[in-house]
Amino acid sequence: MHKPVYLDNSATTRILPEVAAVMRQVMADSFGNPSSPHRLGLEAERVLHTARRMLAGACGAREAEIFFTSGGTEANNLALKGAALRRVRRGRHLVTTKIEHASVLQACRALEKQGFTVTFLEVDSCGLVDPEQVTAALRPDTVLVSVMHVNNEAGAVQPIAEIGRLLKSRHSGIIFHVDAVQSLGKLPVHPAGWCADLVSFSAHKIHGPKGTGALFCREGLELEPLFHGGGQEKGVRPGTENVAGIAGFGAAVRLCAERREENQVHLAALRQRLLCGILAQIPDTACNGPAAAAPHIASVTFKGVNGEVLMHALEERGIFVSTGSACHSRRPEPSHVLLAMGVAEKDIASTLRFSFSPENTTEEIDYALEQLAELAASLRTLQGRR
């Protein structure tokens, strides 16, 4: 049996040994409560400070603009609900896209129940949003626009800087939120360059721990907290901090920031190798998403092959991929992202997502290709016989 080939890195990544070592050390030695005024408390506070400096440095922000959360889901909820609820008197209209992560879409649905109206923008067949369409959707009562940077299923990279520039040049008072959970560590992330007020991050997509994330919140911008409690994270996110998780997040950010450019080249080469191989060697296959997609995500339709059966057959040969995003893959509904891109339902059921990490090698890609070609051919023969 081949050693496991993990190509589901958009669902989550393996914690790097260096990150796990930092977390172990913090759990053993810096176990104080960061709010305690004694030495152990101050030591834990220093741990938070180091991680905050790492993340702020990686995205060109000030340390005071980083708020730690329990992950990307909480960061997205805090951004949308926190900004919208704080501005109810200015308006109750939000703009987002049909291909956002569930944590944005469901936060919008929850706000609709509280009297907000949400415009869900269409995307083109590559999964891209037209910046002009964003501004065309604005109304006098629009308070917030939320657009993700990299889509987690198709890898579409949205023209975030252009959207931010257009938005702020025409309506400077509207809050701009960007979900950068899938782009941190893979592409440059710079809230100021995007004219973004709020940006969400998650640690477990960059070889850090699960259950840790952060929200960049532009200095001076006020948010309604989701929780009420002590004054941690300046009251925006009260609750005793997950010190070890945050330390791991900081270490993961440092490592991926140091290696971002070389990682980006390596990831793009892996993606290209797999995609070109599939399209050349396996008949009736198609890539979903734009040609200039994110370097670490490839969505491929194997026409006439049941995606779930193919995924499990690959698993038996030690290859781990997904049939969609992790939050959808246990549900029978077709992917809302591929539907919005106009992919037919029968083709969505034949689609796999491959997502790469700097840890993957060309040898792994070649093994996956070989197995895919063999399995796609035999599954088509089997299904053809039925």
Binding site for ligand PLP (CB under 6 A): 71-73, 76, 101, 103, 148, 152, 179, 181-182, 202, 204, 213, 325-326
DSSP 6-38: E-BTTT--PPPHHHHHHHHHHHHH--S-TT-SS
In whole angstroms, the minimum distance from the beta carbon of 320 to ligand PLP comes to 16
Q: Which of 59, 108, 287, 327 is catalytic?
A: 327
Closest CB to ligand PLP among residues 71, 91? 71
Least CB distance from residue 151 to ligand PLP, whole Å? 7
Tell me, yes or no, if 327 is annotated catalytic: yes
Tokens (6 digits) for 196? 């973004």
- Greatest alpha-carbon pair distance for the chain in Å reads 73
CA atoms within 13 A on the CB side of 122: 6
Least distance to ligand PLP from the beta carbon of 203, Å? 7
- In whole angstroms, what is the distance from residue 24 CA to residue 204 CA? 16
Rounded to the nearest whole angstrom, what is the least distance from the CB of residue 131 to ligand PLP in the complex?
19
State the minimum distance, in angstroms, from the CB of residue 225 to ligand PLP. 18
* CA-to-CA dists, residue 332 to 204, 329, 336, 348, angstroms: 25, 7, 12, 11
Nearer to ligand PLP, 152 or 242 (CB): 152
DSSP-derived secondary structure letter, 149: S
Residues in the chain: 386
DSSP-derived letter for residue 227 is S
Q: Beta strand 213-217 with 175-179: parallel, antiparallel or unpaired?
A: unpaired
Residue 93 or 328: the one with the smaller Cβ distance to ligand PLP is 328
User: Is the CB of 64 or the CB of 326 nearer to ligand PLP?
Assistant: 326
Q: Which is nearer to ligand PLP, 181 or 282 (CB)?
A: 181
For residues 92 and 149, which CB has a smaller minimum distance to ligand PLP in the complex? 149
Kindly give, in sequence order, each residue whose CB lies less than 8 Å from that of residue 343, ignoring residues fewer than 6 positions away: 288, 301, 351
The torsion angles phi and psi of 260, rounded to 5 degrees, stand at -60, -45
- Nearest distance in Å: CB 277, ligand PLP: 26
Residue nearest to ligand PLP (CB): 72
Nearby residues of 49 by Cβ (< 8 Å), 6 or more positions away: 63
Is the Cβ–Cβ distance between 121 and 159 less than 8 Å? Answer: no
For residues 288 and 154, the answer to whether their CB atoms sit within 8 Å is yes
- Hey, which residues are catalytic here? 327
